Amino acid sequence: MSSSALDPLIHDWNPRPPTPRYPLKLNDETLRDGLQSPSVFNPSIPEKLELLHYMEDLGLYSAAIGLPAAGPHAFEDVLAICQELARHKMKLYPYCAARTHPNDIKPIIEIQQRSGIKVQAALFIFSSPIRQFAEDWTVDRMLKVSEEAIEFAHKNEVPVMYVTEDTTRSRPETLERLYGMAIDHDVERLCISDTVGHATPPGAEAVVRFVRGLVEKSGKNIGVDWHGHRDRDLGVANTIAAHLAGADRVHGSMLGIGERVGNTPVDMLMVNFKLMGLFDRDLTRLPEYARRVAQYCRVPLPDNYPVLGKDAFRTQTGVHADAIVKAYRRGDALLANRIYSGVPADEFGLEQIIEVGPMSGKSNVRFWLEHRGITVSDALVDRIFEAAKQSDHILSDDEMHAIIRSMS
């Protein structure tokens, strides 16, 4: 069965998304904001370089690669990453976070010179009234230090993305002044930050339209970024809304690692944008990338994590398994991967897995045996089925093989 043949079998109530006005660029924050999680471990340089190649292979546009002013170790890691990008002529566009201060920009200048590639400086400053109050800063002071930092970066041929922290809780008149100054100074990009995960999808849409309007009014070719967090678990929904509203580059980290409860998961952005027809890339290596991040950063990959968790395409339920088995018996893997799944496993290098447990039917047992080339008999099926019904868990491979041996 072809993909088009499934059209009459699946009625889609989801409205067709509007065509975005700007092509999608995905940015990976795993090696910068992702590592700010208090629970993660900082990968070694070889491990970071391996993760970098996954980003490239998966078709990501850019990557945040660190804050080199944080210290000698951070500087050496960022330099090694940039040298790897240069050595392999990778398309991935790197950027480094930096405060709006020359001391944070100087390491980026040195890294550019030593690696021979452009490294964007993400110059950030807080913008919300609550942060201004806590820091006792005026908008005029924020404007002054921002302008000086942008001019210093440009004088040293460092491209700039101007980042306002806590944008989604900032006053429009403040954003207009800050972003207006950055636009006047011809920065490459403006970044809207949902720093504390405050936004809802309508709010994300509203602030992006506001900022995009400032850029369009200027007539300049300046990109707009969206950087989201998931404190209210709205990261993916907010990011989709932001892109459709005019943010052409959107950020996320693998497995959603990052400050507090984390960033928007870039893996789920890849999945959803692919299913929406907006990210046409081969994502069969995505599960492997997720496992490497979990291993190197020492973070759990929950069994029930969407698409990438081990239970995402795994069932023991008799009714569900029976439908999947029937599809496989028709020789139709395309149907089998969609009949009980809103996400087609095959598009991500995965497959449906049928287990045997207390909720299973005999079709589960037969399929399990056939799938492994084991001779099926009614007596063996009955024995395994009886053991499964008496169990409080899915039977492991060892338990299944022990039953098989006992029948031989």
What is the tens place of the pLDDT at every residue in 124-158? 999 999 999 999 999 999 999 999 999 999 999 99
Q: Helix, strand or coil for residue 36?
A: helix
Which single residue is written with the structure tokens 């566009």? 93
Can you give the pLDDT at residue 152? 98
Can you give the pLDDT at residue 380? 95
| Residues 230 and 373 grouped into a single domain | no
Greater pLDDT, 338 or 75: 75
Can you give the pLDDT at residue 3? 58
Residue 141 forms part of a structural domain: yes
CA separation for the pair 95, 64 (Å, rounded)? 5
Q: Which helix (H) or strand (E) holds 73?
A: helix 72-87
Can you give the pLDDT at residue 64? 98
pLDDT tens string 73-111: 999 999 999 999 999 999 999 999 999 999 999 999 999
| Residues 210 and 89 grouped into a single domain | yes
Angle at 216 between CA 213 and CA 220, to 5 degrees: 140
Which of 269, 297, 325 lies at the terminal end of a domain, its last residue? 297
Residue 282, number of CB atoms within 10 A of its CB: 13
For residues 185-210, give the mean pLDDT: 98
Instruction: Identify the band that residue 10 occupies on the pLDDT scale cut at 50, 70 and 90.
Output: confident
Residue 8 forms part of a structural domain: no
CA separation for the pair 271, 286 (Å, rounded)? 9
Can you give the pLDDT at residue 323? 85
Query: Does residue 7 have a pLDDT over 70?
Result: no
Can you give the pLDDT at residue 4? 58
Residue 260, number of CB atoms within 10 A of its CB: 13
Q: 189-194 and 223-228: which strand pairing?
A: parallel
Q: What is the tally of structural domains in the chain? A: 2
Which of 262, 297, 332 lies at the terminal end of a domain, its last residue? 297
Residue 98 contacts residue 70 (beta carbons within 8 Å): no
| Residues 165 and 204 grouped into a single domain | yes
CA separation for the pair 192, 239 (Å, rounded)? 11
Query: Per DSSP, which regions of 52-107 are E strands?
Result: 62-64, 93-99
Residue 221 forms part of a structural domain: yes
Residue 170 forms part of a structural domain: yes
Report the candidate in 81, 129, 90, 145 with the shortest Cα–Cα distance to residue 108.
Answer: 81
| Residues 321 and 286 grouped into a single domain | no
| Residues 48 and 162 grouped into a single domain | yes
Can you give the pLDDT at residue 226? 98
Can you give the pLDDT at residue 326? 85
Residue 302 forms part of a structural domain: no
| Residues 135 and 104 grouped into a single domain | yes
| Residues 225 and 265 grouped into a single domain | yes
For residues 295-302, give the mean pLDDT: 97
Which residue range forms the structural domain that includes residue 321?
314-406
CA separation for the pair 215, 224 (Å, rounded)? 8
Instruction: Identify the band that residue 2 occupies on the pLDDT scale cut at 50, 70 and 90.
Output: low
CATH number at residue 34: 3.20.20.70
CA separation for the pair 263, 205 (Å, rounded)? 18
Residue 253 forms part of a structural domain: yes
| Residues 250 and 322 grouped into a single domain | no
Residue 204 forms part of a structural domain: yes
The DSSP string of 22-76 is S--EEEE-TTTGGGGSTTPPPPPHHHHHHHHHHHHHTT--EEE---GGG-HHHHH
Least confident window among 19-23, 31-35, 135-139, 327-331: 327-331
Instruction: Identify the band that residue 333 occupies on the pLDDT scale cut at 50, 70 and 90.
Output: confident
Residue 1 forms part of a structural domain: no
Q: End-to-end CA distance of the chain: give it in Å, rounded.
A: 39
Q: Considering the chain, what percentage of its residues have pLDDT values greater than 90?
A: 86
Greater pLDDT, 18 or 103: 103
CA separation for the pair 100, 297 (Å, rounded)? 29
Mean pLDDT taken over the chain: 94
Residue 310 contacts residue 348 (beta carbons within 8 Å): no
Report the candidate in 233, 232, 268 with the shortest Cα–Cα distance to residue 250.
Answer: 268
| Residues 100 and 238 grouped into a single domain | yes
pLDDT tens string 213-262: 999 999 999 999 999 999 999 999 999 999 999 999 999 999 999 999 99
pLDDT tens string 30-88: 999 999 999 999 999 999 999 999 999 999 999 999 999 999 999 999 999 999 999 99
Instruction: Identify the band that residue 319 occupies on the pLDDT scale cut at 50, 70 and 90.
Output: confident
| Residues 293 and 331 grouped into a single domain | no
Query: Per DSSP, which regions of 258-399 are E strands?
Result: 314-315, 353-354
Greater pLDDT, 189 or 327: 189
| Residues 241 and 279 grouped into a single domain | yes
| Residues 290 and 196 grouped into a single domain | yes
